[in-house]
Structure 1
């Protein structure tokens, strides 16, 4: 029986699947969609499920456009201690794994296409985990955007010091992360982060959804996964990349999706790609070494 996302008991998000597009809506408007309570765990869970659900081809994350913010950052209403688990202290100084980073990993590792529809202000983790690991980002022109970490006495989290320089270059990343200034989406420091900048808040999600629907119909699930893998885990040299490209295209080129892609192009119609990750992926994929980021207690 197919999974019903509404049956998962989410409180901080609302998840709905329709024709290959899974829309995940933040549901903490009264708390300015702060990153707290059950939200981190629910985001990790829903992106993990989406990764393994063959029905899902695209995931869109958004908030209600009437909410005070898309995500106003971490919930520190009771201090920074809310971000840490007491049991971590018992396990030692190396035990902590920040929640924003765990969400980033879940989104970044999702083999499906991901879109962030940023229809409100965003700060801190609302800029890092809730935007940087996505494949596409749409934003409201009037949004206030800030990486405030150095002005709050902490460091950037959620793997943002890895992702942001790769997305915008080190110079722009330095300007944003080391100053903690608030910018608008049209600022030359950050405008290149976005696929599209929309003049009205209410236009952001429809624009993102239109792209999601197009991608759900016209892209191959398995081709997307391999392409994301090549982008995220390239070789160290151009020669190594050439070898990876060659191996991947040899495998994909002999698949049903490649045949359908060529036939649909010839017949001038939308493709109907039959291959899925659960049934048609090669044992060669993934070709990279996965890193275990969990803390493991030392054995005495």
Structure 2
């Protein structure tokens, strides 16, 4: 069996590429297991950056591999869904900052994978959707949770209940995608540069900000403020914060 993904090392992390262009980079269990192993290694090594891409110009990832699913018993189908859901939630919470390099279709499980990443950057021809309802299904890889959290309940309901495909322009307008890749640039390289805009800064500070944002609700709450206070006390007393402040003062 051919390898269905490729991992390119970076000095500060890795690029994980789904390598199934003939199948529009559909997700299989080997791909999910490969991504889990890649994330294991990056977290173990204290790496800062993971870029996730899809091979070719047509698709980032067009969803789960329905052929693989069709050949599975129901128990195995549910096991794959649980595995993917757990992995994507883990990715969204990982200290390794992740960037989805969306070069084409991001549908179903592919959009759920992109939503699990910290950032999303997309090519001009990229398109998006959660079409599961058209098959009598629902997003199974945490998409019902990711999408409302990212763009709000009303828009998320409309997109999931109609299952329609939408453009990069709309994805940018609703805040699902952070940036459009310039036409002259390769999405994968633009994603690396985008990620490094954050990973060049103090790891404790970046992680603390992400944890505080995760604790924030639709309104300012005492519990959210308590999380911020806890991280302020930890980060402000750390050596990286002291070095950063001293470096700033010495420039002036």
The answer on whether the counterparts of 1:101 and 1:159 sit within 8 Å (CA) in structure 2 is: yes
The residue aligned with 1:98 is 82
The answer on whether the counterparts of 1:119 and 1:201 sit within 8 Å (CA) in structure 2 is: no
The residue aligned with 1:124 is 108
- Are residue 224 (structure 1) and residue 206 (structure 2) matched? yes
- Are residue 142 (structure 1) and residue 137 (structure 2) matched? no
Q: CA deviation at 1:28?
A: 1.7
- Are residue 73 (structure 1) and residue 63 (structure 2) matched? yes
| DSSP 3-state at the match of 1:122 | strand
Distance 1:222 1:207, change over 3 A: same
The counterpart of 2:164, out of the listed 181, 186, 192, is: 181
Q: CA deviation at 1:249?
A: 0.8
Larger Rg: 1
Which consecutive residues of structure 2, in runs of 5 or more, have no partner in the other structure? none
What CA RMSD, in Å, does the superposition of the two structures yield over aligned residues?
Answer: 2.7
Correspondence list, 1:103-252, <5 A: 103-128=87-112, 130-187=113-170, 191-198=174-181, 200=183, 202-217=185-200, 219-234=201-216, 238-252=221-235
Which consecutive residues of structure 1, in runs of 5 or more, have no partner in the other structure? 1-9, 89-94, 269-300
- Are residue 32 (structure 1) and residue 24 (structure 2) matched? yes
- Are residue 62 (structure 1) and residue 53 (structure 2) matched? yes
Separation (CA, whole Å) in 2 of partners of 1:267 and 1:210: 28
Separation (CA, whole Å) in 1 of partners of 2:172 and 2:138: 20
Larger fraction in helix: 2
Q: Give the TM-score taking structure 1 as reference length.
A: 0.74
The residue aligned with 1:17 is 9
**Would you say how many aligned residue pairs link Structure 1 and Structure 2?**
249
